[in-house]
Structure 1
């Protein structure tokens, strides 16, 4: 376990939030390009692809490090902020769903023509990796939101263990 869990948790969440923000920025950019020029095959520059892959890997590293080594902050009761965090998590998943919809609709002609090459496989893997990263972030926000919404147990009270 990490010695300073609140600081470590906050740092991991901020880094993961930055990664998701970068992914959502590029999702927005792709959405605009695809809607302005539908039916065309669009390629992302190598620098953007590197940023996307780095954001996926870093976001996943933060998530799994937090899950395995850093506990959720305890003793914080902020129901309004907890609801806002859970809502933000749901919004992130909506944007992920929009990405999948755009990608699926864009790739439908390639599937229809059975043009299933390595490029399509790579793009499918990348889209699912982005979606999984957004899903993990959504889970993290929902966990933290639920923890902040829960009423803390009163200190000094003992639980009834007669039934154990």
Structure 2
């Protein structure tokens, strides 16, 4: 397959957007056409041959924009290769073990036939807006826990599946 891949994402502070951009960059290096876009900006996925959807995790739920994207495009998503990722743990746990998808993401995976899901560490750094974000930072639990080598390896596996098809 030499098609076009969409990486749609829901993010609040931009951490998930950077993960989506890293996935798109790997797919492009592997010869695919890929673009990362905020989920609300995607009106249609008809021009894409495969889709990756990512969402930040907040209090056990996927980002609202990622949930809405999946719901809005569910029929078209079920017709193409589909992968999900989550970002969120503000510790090294995502690099140390496989963290299963939250229940809403699991249900969407089952309904749409998504090929895989992975959870990556999140990032919350000084300057983040919002009362909860400031509380987390004041408690010393912020930081950047994204593992870009793991993100790139996961994207390479997606590229292998797509180019082998």
Identify, as 1 or 2, the structure richer in helix: 1
TM-score by length of 2: 0.25
* TM-score after normalising by structure 1: 0.26
Larger RCO (CA under 8 A, 6+ residues apart):
1
**Would you tell me which structure has more strand in proportion to its own residues?**
2
For the pair shown, the structure with the greater C-alpha radius of gyration is 1
